[in-house]
Amino acid sequence: MPFHPTEGWGQVAGFWGAGIIAFLYVLIMTHAQKLMKGTYDVIRITMYFLLFILISYGKETAPGIILLSHDRPPIWLYVFSFLLAAIALDAFVKKSPTFLRGAISGGIWATILFLVSPFFFSQEFYYPISQGIKSVISGLGGGFFAGLLSSIFYKRRF
């Protein structure tokens, strides 16, 4: 996953990279929510997305591709983090502004994935809690700005 702080090839922005993933996820999901205007759209789209992740999770890379040594969180943690983020976006759709829902969703995703996952890592891959907190702050900010951008776009466009 690009910009994922604990994946070998995705360590482009370090733990601040979690905000980029949260930004993209929330932006795509709020956009889909505005276009589809149905019930539980974000949860449904997230489940399709998770199916693709499940298909490729833990697969071997092609020969000749060199990856940095890294550990992965268990797949159920990925599923749980994305589903709770989707539930947060869908549950408060009429009660909260988009930027607040985005921040909550990005924060939930980053908290579950980066503060809980080190408990499942091998000892040599532990990272300090301060790095996990950096990811949560970044996830909150990424979700906030995605929600803000989405609300500005739809306010002017439609």
For residue 6, what pLDDT band results from cuts at 50, 70 and 90? low
Question: pLDDT at position 102, please?
Answer: 94
Question: pLDDT at position 59, please?
Answer: 66
C-alpha torsion sign, points 138, 143, 146, 149: negative
State both tokens at 80: 């749980």
In the block, tokens 């997230």 appear at 46
Contact 25, 2 (CB under 8 A): no
- Contacts of residue 97, Cβ cutoff 8 Å, sequence gap at least 6: 147, 151
Residue 31 CA to residue 33 CA, distance in Å, equals 5
Question: pLDDT at position 69, please?
Answer: 52
In this model, does residue 149 exceed pLDDT 80? yes
Chain segment 97-138, per-residue pLDDT in tens: 999 999 999 999 999 988 888 788 777 777 788 888 999 999
In the block, tokens 């702050």 appear at 137
Question: pLDDT at position 9, please?
Answer: 46
Chain segment 11-66, per-residue pLDDT in tens: 566 778 888 889 999 999 998 888 887 778 889 999 998 998 888 776 666 677 65
Question: pLDDT at position 12, please?
Answer: 61
Question: pLDDT at position 63, please?
Answer: 72
Question: pLDDT at position 15, please?
Answer: 79
Provide the residue type at 9 as one letter: W
